[in-house]
Amino acid sequence: MKKKLLLTLALIISASVAFGQDDSRFKIGSNDVFKGPVGLQLYSLRDTFGQSVEKGFDVAEELGFGYVELAGKYNLSNEEMLAKLKEHHLTPIAGHWDYNLFKNDPEAVAKEAKALGLKYAGVAWIPHNGDFDEQDVEEAAKTFNRAGKVLADYGLGFYYHNHGYEFLPAGDDKTMFDLLVEKTDPKYVSFQMDILWTIFPGQDAAALLRKYPDRWLLIHLKDLKKGVVGDNSGGTSVENDVALGTGQVPYAEVLKAAQEVGVKYYFIEDESPRAIEQIPQSLKYLESVKW
């Protein structure tokens, strides 16, 4: 009986490794101080996926990641997408959808996210004309609260990824982002901090994490080239994305704050044309960062 049990356990462990459950993939980019877990936003490899979907998955696997955040399905069905992820030992955690789909048919997002085995579904851009203002905040908050409730009914979490334009002043020492946090229901709406799009408009990322300790769910790990002066436009050259630890972000301080407030997952997103070369540098930095 004991031998049979040991054999069963050995087969389970063997199968887990074969299907990408090797612990080393889920510990990549972490150390005894910074615990992670660190994954990859697949948008980082958009140029590679554009050349060949198979090559894109190959590179994501070769970089050593276990967790990924999705940025589309490359014209694959849900079943084909899941098969590719499994084949390449990648576990999908979250994904981005268009704002208007959340606004007009959040249940469609929920069904697709559930079919893809995700925990969370989010949006990274709120359509607006000119400066992002209080009316934009009001409309987005309604959309997010409704979408978050629908996703929750499917056992999923909803999140919004900031992009920099939300930090325009709103009076009383507040920003439009502060209003968005206030007007969204914490039961149904969480946030993903994009570090670059937080410091680019002049915000203190660590302080903002601590200001809303119960609202931050995920993080995009990105660094901004030294010397670049930001604004509230929500846009900058992809050439300004640099390897973590080589730019303007005080990463030890930011990661310490992120761990303190309980961020669940960290995804490297490198939009530069040098992403494949820079991502290993970023991982090396994360594996050595201390505070």
To the question of domain 32-286 being in CATH 3.20.20.150, the answer is yes
Per-residue CA distances from 43 to 20, 64, 68, 74 (Å):
21, 16, 10, 11
Would you say residue 17 has pLDDT above 60? no
pLDDT value for 23:
81
Q: Residue 12 pLDDT more than 70?
A: no
Helix (H, G, I), strand (E, B) or coil at 174: strand
**H or E element in which residue 241 lies:** strand 241-242
Cα–Cα distance, 196 to 164 (Å, whole number)? 9
User: In the chain, how many H helices and how many E strands?
Assistant: 13, 12
For residues 252 and 289, the answer to whether their CB atoms sit within 8 Å is: yes
Q: What percent of the chain has pLDDT over 70?
A: 92
Q: Is 135 left (phi over 0), alpha (psi -120 to 50) or beta?
A: alpha
What pLDDT, on the 0 to 100 scale, is given for residue 21? 53
The mean pLDDT of 230-257, rounded to a whole number, is 98
pTM: predicted TM-score of the whole model, two decimal places: 0.92
Is residue 252 pLDDT above 70, yes or no?
yes
Can you read off the two tokens belonging to residue 257?
């704050």
- With bands split at pLDDT 50, 70 and 90, how would you rate the model's confidence at 13? very low
Q: What is the DSSP letter of 44?
A: G
Lowest-confidence segment of 4-8, 134-138, 161-165 by average pLDDT: 4-8
More confident residue, 24 or 20: 24
Report pLDDT digits (tens) over 91-147. Answer: 999 999 999 999 999 999 999 999 999 999 999 999 999 999 999 999 999 999 999
Task: Give the residue from 66, 155, 78, 161 showing the smallest Cα distance to 115.
Answer: 78
Place 203 in a pLDDT band, splitting at 50, 70 and 90: very high
SS3 state of residue 278: helix
pLDDT of residue 4: 40
The pLDDT of residue 278 is above 70:
yes
What does the pLDDT read at residue 7? Answer: 37
Three-state DSSP at 41 gives: strand
User: Which whole number is the average pLDDT over 188-211?
Assistant: 98
User: Is residue 5 over pLDDT 90?
Assistant: no
Q: What ranges do the domains of the chain cover?
A: 32-286
Degrees, nearest 5: CA angle 150-154-113:
95
Task: Tell whether the model's pLDDT for residue 18 goes beyond 70.
Answer: no
Asked whether the beta carbons of 216 and 157 are under 8 A apart, the reply is: no
Q: Decide if 201 contacts 231 (C-beta within 8 A).
A: yes
How confident is the model at residue 14, as a pLDDT?
39
Side chain identity at residue 87, one-letter code: E
% of the chain residues with pLDDT over 90:
92
Q: How far apart are the first and last CA of the chain?
A: 49
How many whole angstroms from its chain centre is CA 184? 20
Residues 6+ apart with CB under 8 A from 137: 170, 176, 179, 180, 183
Q: Which of 16-20, 103-107, 139-143, 195-199 has the lowest mean pLDDT?
A: 16-20
8 A C-beta contact, residue 163 and residue 197 = yes
The pLDDT assigned to 64 comes to 98
Other beta carbons within 10 Å of 101: 15
